[in-house]
Amino acid sequence: MKKEDELKYQKKWAGVFSKHKDLVLEYWKKYRYFYTIESICQPNENKKILDVGCGISSILHFIKGQKYGIDALIKEYRTLYQYPNTINTIPARAEHIPFKDNTFDIIFCSNAYDHVDNIELARKEIYRVLKPEGYFVLAVEFFKQKKVRDSAHPYCLLKEDVYNLTNEYLYLYQRITPWVGLKEHIQGITQYDEEELLFILQKRI
């Protein structure tokens, strides 16, 4: 059911994203501090960049670099949306990233950490493929108390859970930001009930 639910949502979302990429970039600027990410991580054509759980509307559309996106449903997403040829899409899970150790200069994981089947294994894999002194940009929803969510969200993370998952990095930047969904932002909705943590982290030498 998890796969079917996600594909049903993404089938509708693909058309919306194609028409409103400018508003998705606006979302990153307003809620995910796009310019701060650029200033600290300095993406450019020589850097290898990975988006874990990239989905369709990946940050990779808006930055420079040698860009790779992995997602367990990427084959299905390719039937719904034509990715730019500058983005290399690979069917893979966060728990088994198909790259060698210390491959990437920058890794993004945007609203995907709580979707994985094994978050501890995903944590280890992201750390493994990130270069020493590389940057990990993480945006993840957090809650004030534990609750059962849905099949697409096996994890309900408290703030302390997120810090425990990231404490092996240097914290370069962190913000609590409103959790307004992309679809809601495009519709002009600004109300929110939950919040996200946004981190720019650096792998220690």
Within 10 angstroms of residue 50's Cβ, the number of other Cβ atoms is 28
Instruction: Compute the distance between CA of residue 33 and CA of residue 40 in angstroms, rounded to an integer.
Output: 11
Delimit the domains of the chain by residue range. 2-203
Mean per-residue pLDDT, 38-65: 98
- The answer to whether residue 82 scores a pLDDT higher than 70 is yes
Residue that has been written with the tokens 């040829």 in this structure: 85
Note the pTM of the prediction, 2 decimals. 0.95
Instruction: Compute the distance between CA of residue 120 and CA of residue 136 in angstroms, rounded to an integer.
Output: 16
- The answer to whether residue 140 scores a pLDDT higher than 60 is yes
Instruction: Compute the distance between CA of residue 24 and CA of residue 145 in angstroms, rounded to an integer.
Output: 30
Give the pLDDT confidence of 180-204 residue by residue, as tens digits: 989 899 999 988 888 999 999 999 9
2-19 vs 21-31: helix axis angle to the nearest 10? 100
Provide the pairing of β-strand 104-110 with 48-52.
Answer: parallel
H-type helices in the chain, by residue range? 2-19, 21-31, 34-41, 74-80, 119-129, 159-166, 182-186
Please, what is the average pLDDT of the chain?
Answer: 94
Mean per-residue pLDDT, 13-20: 94
pLDDT score at 115: 87
Dig out the tokens for 74 from the structure.
Answer: 């990427």
Going by pLDDT thresholds of 50, 70 and 90, the confidence category of residue 33 is very high
In this structure, CATH architecture of domain 2-203: 3-Layer(aba) Sandwich (3.40)
Residues across the chain: 205
